[in-house]
Each structure stands twice: as structure tokens, then as C-alpha cells.
Amino acid sequence: MDEFELIRRFFAAASCAQAGGEVALGIGDDCALLTLPAGEQLAVSTDTLVAGVHFPDPCDPSLLAQRALGVTASDLAAMGATPIGFTLALTLPQAGADWLAAFAEGINQAAERHGLRLIGGDTTRGPLSLTLTVFGRVPAGAALRRSGARPGDLLCVGGSLGDAAAALPLVLGQQQLPAELAELLLASYWQPQPQLALGQALRGLASAALDISDGLLADAGHIAASSGVVLCIELARVPLSPDLQQLPREQALRGALSGGDDYRLLFTLPPEHLADLQAQWPELAVLGRVEAGCAEVRLLAEDGRELPQPPGGYQHFGQDRD
Ligand code: ADP
Ligand code: MG
């Protein structure tokens, strides 16, 4: 199978690869052509996933595809952008038809779920790696940025944290859990659900936002730095899923605070918008608040005491809480 047959058979023929909407021209020419509605800006983000670094090799090709696209689409959610399409640069050690069919099926499934059309890419031979670039649109000036958090805003998260981090030892084959629990945790790792609708709903309401890819504390640090504020996080308010609560509390909390891969939106919100948003997004949680001061994240106990942050000091505050 040559490169062109591979592209035609597995990618150009997929239902997600057909032109339409803002995609005036998709796969098959030297460039794709996108038409943006008047007054909108193009939001662009790219992610590379390398075998053995960002995912175990071998792994299920359909799940790999779903994870790659979910992770990349999450950046559109974080900016409040409406998805348009994506390109897929694929480097493969060999062109195995079974592998490609499963991979393309996963790409198609995730693309349809997230409202993204496959508009082009590149196919090369080499150690397995994927580079996906996503394109979205957002009304000019309305994108959610990291830099707008103001003292007095609430710090909020779009849902529970820590499931994907708890899945990592399972993904790496370092731990076993009861099948039902393992399945739920693994789904959050392999099939991340970018909060695209929430991101769009936050336009004009949230003062700053990003998606949590490196862990709550690390990513909160990015908002604090870009906005020049202090973010106070109350440990007792960090939401853990019912699945995660079946694990030892310390492990669950460590994953929620410092583990990555959750792909929830973390955002700051003037308090007057909270009630309306929570009515529509009941899983949304308030973690704390924005205060004036030098770019910093503080972790607080229920009594307001500042807690040391993991990894170094984690055990101590874990014991304090119990
Ligand atoms: P060029 O040599 O002009 O860069 P290619 O021969 O690499 O073009 O690709 C031919 C067409 O197939 C282009 O439209 C390109 O975007 C598309 N394409 C190549 N690889 C992929 C892929 N893995 N997924 C989707 N589209 C692809
Ligand atoms: Mg090429």
C-alpha cells in the first residue's frame, strides 16, 4: 500500500473528512481552505504525541486516536472556540492495515463527537508519533485568555479531577484494580472529554481560563502568572469523582492536585455569574478565589491555614486532613 492509497482508504474516505461548514476544501489538494464567518478569529493549537513518551507502545490504536484528538481539542475548549477541523501528521513504522483501520475508526469517532473535520495531514515512515493541529473559531476579541483573572473572582473547575492520573499506573501495567473501577478510570485517560460546550458558554463570563493538562496546581500557576494574581485553592473543595473516592484519599488527592491529563476547564469567574452557570453545569465546582498579590497559588486547609504543596510536603498535609 503506497502513501496515497493509505490516505485515500483510511483518511480521505472517512465521514469526518468530508468538506462542509467552514471547510470549503478538505483533503486532496496542497492546502485545505477554511472560510471564517465575518468578525471571527481562527484559534489554532498543535500537539505531538510520541510513542513511549506520551503513550505506551504498543497500545490500542482506536483509543490512541481518541486520546490524541481529545487532548488537542481541549485547547479549543480552553479558548472558548467552536471546533472547525484538524490536520493529522502521522509517522508510522509500517503501514499495517489492521492498525490503520482501527486508528482511523477512533479518529472518526472522536472527530464526530467533538464536531471536528479532518482537513489534511502528512504521512511519513519512522518511529510512531502523531501531530494533530486543531482549528476553531471564536468571535473577535471573545477568546478566553489566561491573563484576565481579577481579585474578587471565584476560581472554578468544570468537573472532578484526578481520574486520569489514577489511570496512569493501570495504563503502564504497574497496578491492578477491580475491573469495573479500572474501566471507568481508563476511559478518562484514553477518551478525554474536552469541555467544548462549557468553554463556549464561558465566553463573556469567565475572566480567565485554561484546560488542566499538567495538574491543577501547575496549571493554576499559569493563570496566576499570566494574570499577576494569587489563586487560593481550598483543599476540601477539590472535586473527586465517586470512582476516585474508592481509592485511598491521599492517592486520590495527589492525582487531583498534581496528576495531569484531566482536561477539565479551570477558570476565574466574577461571582455574579456563578448561579446561572451552575444551573446549566451542575458538575462545575468552586475551588477558591482570586486575591491581589504576586503571581502565586496557595493551597488552604478548611481553617484557612496554608498547606505545603505536593510532591514534597504532600504527606504532611494529607495526614493533617484525615
Ligand atoms: P503534499 O506532498 O502536497 O504535502 P501529501 O502527498 O503529503 O501532500 O498529501 C496529499 C493530501 O493528503 C493532502 O491534502 C494532505 O493534507 C492529505 N494527507 C496526507 N496525510 C494525511 C493524513 N495522515 N490524514 C489526513 N490527510 C492526509
Ligand atoms: Mg507530504
Asked whether residue 319 carries a pLDDT value surpassing 60, the answer given is no
Q: Look at ligand 1, atom 20, and give the residue with the nearest C-alpha.
A: 122
| 29 CB within 6 A, ligand 1 | yes
pLDDT at site 183: 96
Average pLDDT value for the chain: 94
Mean pLDDT calculated for residue range 22-39: 98
Alpha carbon of 190 to ligand 1 centroid (Å): 26
Q: Which amino acid is at 278?
A: Q
pTM of the model: 0.94
pLDDT at site 260: 86
Asked whether residue 26 carries a pLDDT value surpassing 70, the answer given is yes
pLDDT at site 315: 36
Cβ < 5 A residues, ion ligand 2: 122
pLDDT at site 63: 98
| 119 CB within 6 A, ligand 1 | no
pLDDT at site 310: 75
Mean pLDDT calculated for residue range 245-263: 94
Asked whether residue 218 carries a pLDDT value surpassing 70, the answer given is yes
pLDDT at site 311: 57
pLDDT, tens digit (0-9, with 9 covering 90-100), for 89-119:
999 999 899 999 999 999 999 999 999 999 9
